[in-house]
Homo-oligomer: A and B are copies of this chain.
Amino acid sequence: MRRNAVLKPLPSEDDQAARFVRQREADRTAVAEDYVELIADLLRAEGEARAVDLARRMGVSQATVANTITRLQRDGLVETRPYRGLFLTEAGAELATRAKARHELVVRFLIAVGLDAETAEADAEGLEHHASEKALAAFARFLDAHNGKRR
C-alpha cells in the first residue's frame, strides 16, 4: 500500500488547453443533439413533435424553444411546419440516430457498472455529450465482456 504517491506533475499547457477547448466544443453541440434526439423520439412515439411539447420536456419556455429551433433550422438540422410540428432534415435525422445510439450505450454501460436505471438515465443525459469515440468504444467492449460473462 503506497501512501504519499509521487505528486502527478501538471500536464503541459498545450495539452491541458486542448482538453478544455474540446470540452467547450462538446458543450456547444449538446443542445442540438438533445433537441434532435427528442424530436425523433416524439415523432416515433407520438407521430408528431410540437414545439410546446419540446418546451415541456426540455423544461424550458416556449420562447426558448422557438429561439433554439431557429438556430437548428439555420444549421440545417430541423424544418418547421407551423401548427403541424417539427421535422428533421437528413442531417438532423442522422445526428438524432447517432445521438440516440450513444445515449443508449451510455445508459446500458452505467447500469452494467452498477448504477440504478433511473440515475443512469438522468446522468446519461449529461455524460453522453462528453464521451469521446474512444470512450464509447471502451464502454461497448466492456458491455460485450460483461454480457459474455453474465448472460
> Footprint of B on A, CB under 8 Å?
7, 9-11, 13, 16-23, 26-27, 30, 34, 41-42, 44-46, 53, 56-60, 110, 113-116, 119, 121-123, 125-127, 129-132, 134-135, 138-139, 141-142
Contact = CB atoms under 8 A, between A and B. Distances in A.
A115 B13 CA distance: 22
A141 B114 CA distance: 8
Contact of A138 (B21, B44, B115): B115
A49 to B, nearest CB: 11
Contacts of A115: 134-135, 138
A134 B115 CA distance: 7
What is the count of identical protomers in the complex? 2
A27 B27 CA distance: 8
B138 A113 contact: yes
Contact of A123 (B41, B42, B130): B130
Contacts of A114: 138, 141-142
A7 B44 contact: yes
